[in-house]
Amino acid sequence: MTIHRCKRCNYVYIDEEQEIPFEKVSEDYKCPRCRTSKKFFVKKQSPK
Ligand SMILES: [Zn+2]
């Protein structure tokens, strides 16, 4: 399972819980919690 974590606030974007995989969201995506931009998200593979 792929997740992306916001480096600023630790918000986690879980592809399987969203309609769009993180890689496909628009470049102007903002973290819903701290409003930081997509480039501050780091990709992680999480174990099931
Ligand atoms: Zn954030």
- Percentage of the chain exceeding pLDDT 90: 90
Does residue 48 register a pLDDT over 70? no
From the list 43, 22, 46, 23, the residue with the least C-alpha distance to 32 is 22
SS3 for 5-44 is EECCCCCEEEHHHCCCCHHHCCCCCECCCCCCEHHHEEEE
2-45: what CATH class?
A: mainly beta
What pLDDT, in 10s, does the model give residues 13-33? 999 999 999 999 999 999 999
pTM, full prediction: 0.86
Q: How far is the CA of 3 from the centre of ligand 1 (A)?
A: 13
Q: What ranges do the domains of the chain cover?
A: 2-45
Q: How far is the CA of 29 from the centre of ligand 1 (A)?
A: 11
Contact of 11 with 5, CB cutoff 8 Å? yes
Q: How far is the CA of 22 from the centre of ligand 1 (A)?
A: 14
- Structure token pair of residue 19: 């309609």
Q: How far is the CA of 41 from the centre of ligand 1 (A)?
A: 8
Mean pLDDT (whole number) for 3-12: 97
